[in-house]
Each structure stands twice: as structure tokens, then as C-alpha cells.
């Protein structure tokens, strides 16, 4: 991946997708969590940001969450959650679980 590639997340803000751990929907806003522990709120819906982040190994786990697959530490199948590199736990919907498992297995092989 080209590290010089930046994605517009709203307003005049741009981010390097490699620095983003996850995105969380909050009505018409999105909370963007970064690997350095920082977070920011943008007035761009997650649905809009989804199309911008998908080419960079991001996956929509739930209607409210999108995660960077490179930052997933563990999939807890019993609770339908994933543990992220920053220790957040993110919900995985039943319909998205099978494909997420496939992505994670491909990544580790």
C-alpha cells in the first residue's frame, strides 16, 4: 500500500488509512479511532466513508462499525465480537461473521 495515499473523511480532514483502527457510526456522524489512541468525530456518515475505506482492507462488521482488518487481534465467536489492536471490542453481526472469518483466515495464510 502506498503510505502517501490519504482519504478525505470530511471537511478539510484527510487521513492515512494505515493509521485508522476503526470507524463507528453515530447517527449522521462518524467517530474515527486512530492507532495512536486519538479519535475524531466527522460529519460524514459511515455509509459514505465505507466506499472510501474498502480498498484499504477495511470491513463493515455491523451497521455501526467498520474495522481495519490489519488491526483485528482476535475474533470471539461466542460473543460475536472482534478484539482490536487498541483493545476496543467491536460487534460483528451474524450475517457478516462468516465472511469476516474468511478474510481473517486468508490474511493469516
Q: List, for residues 17-62, the tens digit of each pLDDT value.
A: 999 999 999 999 999 999 999 999 999 999 999 999 999 999 999 9
Contact 34, 21 (CB under 8 A): yes
Contact 28, 45 (CB under 8 A): yes
Q: What is the mean pLDDT of the chain?
A: 91
What domains are defined for the chain?
7-108 (2.40.50.1020)
- 51: phi then psi, degrees, rounded to nearest 5: -65, -30
Compute the distance between CA of residue 87 and CA of residue 3 in angstroms, rounded to an integer: 24
Residue 74's region, left for phi above 0, alpha for psi from -120 to 50, else beta, is beta
Question: Is a pLDDT exceeding 80 seen at residue 67?
Answer: yes
| Higher pLDDT pick, 51 / 106 | 51
pTM: 0.89
Compute the distance between CA of residue 68 and CA of residue 26 in angstroms, rounded to an integer: 18
Amino acid at each position: 500500500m502506498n503510505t502517501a495515499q490519504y482519504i478525505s473523511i470530511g471537511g478539510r480532514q484527510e487521513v492515512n488509512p494505515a493509521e485508522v483502527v476503526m470507524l463507528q457510526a453515530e447517527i449522521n456522524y462518524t467517530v474515527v479511532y486512530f492507532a495512536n489512541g486519538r479519535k475524531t468525530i466527522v460529519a460524514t456518515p459511515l455509509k459514505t466513508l465505507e466506499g472510501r475505506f474498502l480498498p484499504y482492507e477495511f470491513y463493515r462488521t455491523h451497521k455501526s462499525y467498520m474495522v481495519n482488518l490489519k488491526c483485528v487481534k482476535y475474533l470471539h465467536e461466542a460473543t460475536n465480537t472482534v478484539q482490536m489492536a487498541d483493545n476496543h471490542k467491536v460487534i460483528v453481526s451474524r450475517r457478516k461473521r462468516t465472511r469476516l472469518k474468511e478474510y481473517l483466515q486468508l490474511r493469516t495464510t
